[in-house]
Structure 1
Amino acid sequence: MPQLEVDGAALTYDDEGPRDAAGVPLVFIHGWTADRHRWDHQMAHFSQGRRVIRLDLRGHGDSTGAGVRRIAELAEDVLALLDHLEAERFVLIGHSMGGMIAQTIALAHPDRVAGMVLVGSIGRMTYSRGRGLLMAASTLVPFKLFVAANMKRAFAPGYPREEVRAHIRAAAGTPREVVMTLYGAMRAFDVLDRVGAIRTPTLMVHGYHDIQLPVRQMLRMARAYPNAIVRILDAGHELPVEKPAELTEVLDWFLTAKL
């Protein structure tokens, strides 16, 4: 497991596939309380023919480091890794919070982003009154219950309970300070009024049953994008693990047809 020291964190990453392959590298960015293994299916598929990079964000998975208060700071970590790996241009593929990071990079460095895929992600955190009250109350309960309450909502009805429990256990292994500071960073994230400046081809893949970041919020964002393509899958918020093969198929189509 190679690591890169970046601003007090040791970022664990994978860099696989042929470097001389046609096309720019694919960069996979996971979401809040997850890790780089969310992308195992996609890594196995795409690394057969092109360069693929993924990382554990600071404080997640096998990476160290404290939480940060702005999504832009996580974007700086990703860019530091890509600079270290001499990846000048790339396709960004981000799930949930990872999609927020991807949008931040695309806005700051449009010349470097050849394409972007937002999986279960949005440009502005918006809560209904009811959900806002629920989320505020959940921060007052013990940490493991807070994580469990959020993870249970992330899967579509009928997803195997044992697998949900396994993801809850893994998420609860993320340090409390990292989880809570990034929770605040996501709540403060808002680029919706700026995404019209993102001209790179963009695919938005969302789960029909996503109640964490509902489809209607993604569709509101899609209207602001000049070059957005939308695909809805029969899943909840955790698309990379709920529907890995279907997600890979959609990504394959986008990379072949639009880039």
Structure 2
Amino acid sequence: MTTYLADSAETRHVDGPDGERFAYRRFGREGTRPLVMHMRLRGTIDHWDPALLDLLAAEREVIIFDNRGTNFSTGKPPVTVDELVQGSLAFISSLGLTDIDVLGWSMGGIVAQGVALAAAPGLVHRLVVAGSSAGGVPDLPAPPERVAQTTGKPDNGDDDFLYLFFPETEKARAAGLASLRRLDHRLKQSNAAVSADAFRGQLAALGSFKGYWDRQEELTLPVLVANGAHDVMIHAYATYAMSQRLPDAKIILYSDAGHGFLFQHPEDFAHEVNRFLSL
């Protein structure tokens, strides 16, 4: 049993321009500007914490989706960041959306920036970048070797996700486990996963990506950038560094959190996002 609206939202499909079929869910407060959300490396439509989704959907319409060739969506899996961006834009266009806000977490934060940079003028109103980077940030500390070792496993268990997303404190780990159990409702039914081919494509995309660091000044729309101060996957310095280049940004750092701060503090982060998007 679950009490989350996000867990009962139906999976829909829309045909894309190249014969692909995008899987998505659309729910929340109708008549508001939709928030299109972009997922992390190796994540799917079922890896969003329903606690966060429900809090966002209480004030706006939320749209989550699988990109081309990923999980429930068909088509050729992207192998470059540009292909990930073009897949998102194709999905947005296929739904006939012309006025949206965009949020991206981790790899999705890079894709979300690319969408804002490549979109037609007026399409993206505001941008939220969570636990991510501009790419190409000078002097960004590298992640520990354990990160690559953990993400490269064929399957990740609770201990892997706790290491990657949450600090090694009792309180943070408890919040992490609570989030993982919330994800169970969808995942145990769907067995949603990124295929080996799609995962290799995502790794290739990130490996060849030169970054948007030199294009930050082009992101003239309002941007909210947030992370946990103890992110082992993408060092929190990336968030601070973006504040030095973005023309109109607000920066949030959670001192007791890491890469999964948005699932550790869903109430506070949803409040910040909803307030930011309503301005």
Interval of TM-score (by shorter of Structure 1 and Structure 2): 0.7 to 0.9
Structure 1 CA distance for aligned equivalents of residues 38 and 49 of structure 2: 9
Structure 1 CA distance for aligned equivalents of residues 107 and 143 of structure 2: 22
Tell me which residue corresponds to 1:30.
Answer: 39
Letter matched to residue 259 of structure 2: H
Structure 2 CA distance for aligned equivalents of residues 208 and 193 of structure 1: 24
Tell me which residue corresponds to 1:73.
Answer: 83
State the aligned residue count. Answer: 252
How far did 1:201 drift? 0.3
8 A Cα contact 2:14 2:95, kept in partner: no
8 A Cα contact 1:211 1:237, kept in partner: yes
Pair 1:97 & 2:110 matched? no
Letter matched to residue 102 of structure 2: L
Q: Deviations over 1:214-246 (max 9, x none)?
A: 111221122110111101123110233222112
Letter matched to residue 198 of structure 1: L
CA 1:152–1:173 in 2, change beyond 3 Å: closer, same or farther?
A: farther
How far did 1:120 drift? 0.5
CA 1:255–1:142 in 2, change beyond 3 Å: closer, same or farther?
A: closer
Tell me which residue corresponds to 1:5.
Answer: 15
Residue identity (%): 24
8 A Cα contact 1:28 1:39, kept in partner: no
How far did 1:50 drift? 3.0
How far did 1:129 drift? 6.3
Structure 2 CA distance for aligned equivalents of residues 134 and 49 of structure 1: 39
- Runs of at least 5 residues in structure 1 that lack an aligned partner in the other structure: none
Tell me which residue corresponds to 1:15.
Answer: 26
Pair 1:116 & 2:127 matched? yes
Structure 1 CA distance for aligned equivalents of residues 237 and 205 of structure 2: 22
Q: 2:246 aligns with which of 225, 230, 251?
A: 225
Q: 1:53 aligns with which of 33, 38, 63?
A: 63
For normalisation by structure 2, the TM-score amounts to 0.77
CA 1:157–1:14 in 2, change beyond 3 Å: closer, same or farther?
A: same
For normalisation by structure 1, the TM-score amounts to 0.82
Tell me which residue corresponds to 1:246.
Answer: 268
* Alpha-carbon RMSD: 3.2
Structure 2 CA distance for aligned equivalents of residues 48 and 65 of structure 1: 32
Q: Secondary structure at the match of 1:91?
A: strand
Q: Deviations over 1:65-108 (max 9, x none)?
A: 44321112122222222222221021101101111111101111
Q: Secondary structure at the match of 2:207?
A: helix
- Runs of at least 5 residues in structure 2 that lack an aligned partner in the other structure: 1-10
How far did 1:25 drift? 1.6
Tell me which residue corresponds to 2:4.
Answer: none
8 A Cα contact 1:202 1:228, kept in partner: yes
How far did 1:143 drift? 3.1
> Which segment drifts farther, 41-50 or 85-94?
41-50
